[in-house]
Copies of this chain bind each other. A is one copy, B any other.
Amino acid sequence: VSELPPRQALKALVAYDGSNYWGFQMQRGQPTIQGAIEATLRRLTGEQIRIRYAGRTDRGVHAAGQVIAFESGWRHPVADLERGLNALLPQDIAVRQVEPVAEDGFHPRFSARSRLYRYTVWTAPWRWPLNARYTHHEPRDLDLALMNQAAGLLVGDHDFASFGRPTQGESTIRSVRRAVWQRQAEHLLTFDIEANAFLRHMVRTMVATLLEVGRGHRTPQEVLATLEARDRSLAAPLAPASGLCLISVTY
């Protein structure tokens, strides 16, 4: 009777510059974060490992604290697995806090209580090559107070059907805990939004809609009407992926 080696459940934080990837989720024939991590795990462990993850970030979106989990028969210290992964992964992907999963049945997506995303906007009249990979360039002054007034109307338990679609046939109700614009420097704005979960494209659609408010092309009252209409065609088109980063996931 052959015995499979004992497999342990592991989890890790993943940070990546998403500029050169077609999003997190595996796509045949395209570079993806999942594809890069699974290929590296295979090289290190010899195992065909399928990873689970907290958020399916889109093409070009970045992450500081994506969460993954997987099972492996790795029998050396997990610190060696972490070192090995970082040595072999492409330079624009890194893992940290590789550790055994304590909880039974932990799933990075289904066990998550909330996600925090940050969207960064560069508002100077000139392009800025030193942050262009991580910002969206909106070359004009924006009315921060008005944008925050509109953002505040999106906080709470709402049906966000106007701002995104569910990945499967689920509900479009989400619970947004916080949605705040802040000025980080003279020409640098950030939008932090935390929710129990997000619809597909929800953050970038909200950002694009709030940028219209900042430009004076839409009022906060119109944002509220857009939310209440539950009609995807009323919100603005997607803001660019480069400005978006998955900051952290809370369990």
Contacts and interface: CB of A to CB of B under 8 A. Distances in A.
B96 A129 contact: no
Nearest to A18: B129
A128 interface: yes
A184 interface: no
A2 interface: no
State which size class the interface on A falls in. Answer: 20 to 34
Which secondary structure characterizes the binding site on chain A?
Answer: mixed
A91 B130 contact: no
A130 B134 contact: yes
A15 B131 CA distance: 11
A16 B134 CA distance: 15
Interface in A51-84: 62, 64
Nearest to A124: B96
A207 interface: no
Interface of A: 15-17, 62, 64, 86, 91-96, 125-130, 132-134, 245
